[in-house]
Amino acid sequence: MPQDNSKIKTMQMPNEVFLPEVIALLKEGHSATIPLRGRSMRPFLEDGRDKAKLELPGTSKVGDAVLAEISKGHFVLHRIIKIEGEHVTLRGDGNLANEYCRLEDIRAKAVGFYRKGRSVMDSTDGLKWRIYSWWWTRLYPIRRYLLFLLHPHKPTPAPSPREGSEE
């Protein structure tokens, strides 16, 4: 039976409220598909457009895209770029700086992504994702320039002379 999506309502809530509930469902044995927010996994995953399918992490390894709590209530979905003992270095594909957590702070692993409104998931174990990941992680030294070319920042318009003046 066709579904009328015009009546579907969405609600936004802060990640520090929403994601602990998602994690609780994962711990009960469910998987969860969540909308992506933010720009840290650009250029291939976009804010508000794409979704990630999450499962409990199991054993984490370099290259995994994981949901980590890097500080109390602050979650990121980034790729693991290094593991040294219990210490994990993370970097979003669209980021230039690293973030850090411990292995115990990894709450979920992305097992796939629904991109560009598609109903078929791109699995993180699939050939397409593995090829993309291999190339993109090796392009890190020139990533700043590639990101600029792919998604140039729009200049912020200068305020008019009347804005902010006390005249």
Structurally, the chain folds into a number of domains equal to 1
Q: How far apart are CA 77 and CA 41, in angstroms?
A: 8
Q: Which CATH number goes with the domain that contains 62?
A: 2.10.109.10
Which of the four pLDDT bands, split at 50, 70 and 90, describes residue 11?
confident
Please indicate, yes or no, if residue 50 is contained in any of the structural domains. Answer: yes
| Whether the Cβ atoms of residue 93 and residue 43 lie closer than 8 Å to each other | yes
Q: How far apart are CA 39 and CA 25, in angstroms?
A: 25
Q: What is the model's pLDDT at position 132?
A: 85
Arithmetic mean of pLDDT over the chain: 84
Residues paired with 56 in a beta bridge:
none
Please indicate, yes or no, if residue 163 is contained in any of the structural domains. Answer: no
| Opening angle at CA 57, ends 55 and 60, nearest 5 | 145
For 77-123, how does the pLDDT look when each residue is reduced to its tens digit (9 = 90+)?
Answer: 999 999 999 999 999 988 889 999 999 999 999 999 999 989 999 99
Please indicate, yes or no, if residue 77 is contained in any of the structural domains. Answer: yes
Is residue 37 predicted with pLDDT exceeding 80? yes
> Which residue range forms the structural domain that includes residue 138?
12-150
Task: Please name the residue that has the structure tokens 């209530």.
Answer: 73
Q: Letter for the amino acid at 165?
A: S
Please indicate, yes or no, if residue 37 is contained in any of the structural domains. Answer: yes
Q: What is the model's pLDDT at position 75?
A: 95
Please indicate, yes or no, if residue 19 is contained in any of the structural domains. Answer: yes
Please indicate, yes or no, if residue 97 is contained in any of the structural domains. Answer: yes
Q: How far apart are CA 139 and CA 41, in angstroms?
A: 14
Please indicate, yes or no, if residue 68 is contained in any of the structural domains. Answer: yes
pTM above 0.85, yes or no: no
Please indicate, yes or no, if residue 160 is contained in any of the structural domains. Answer: no
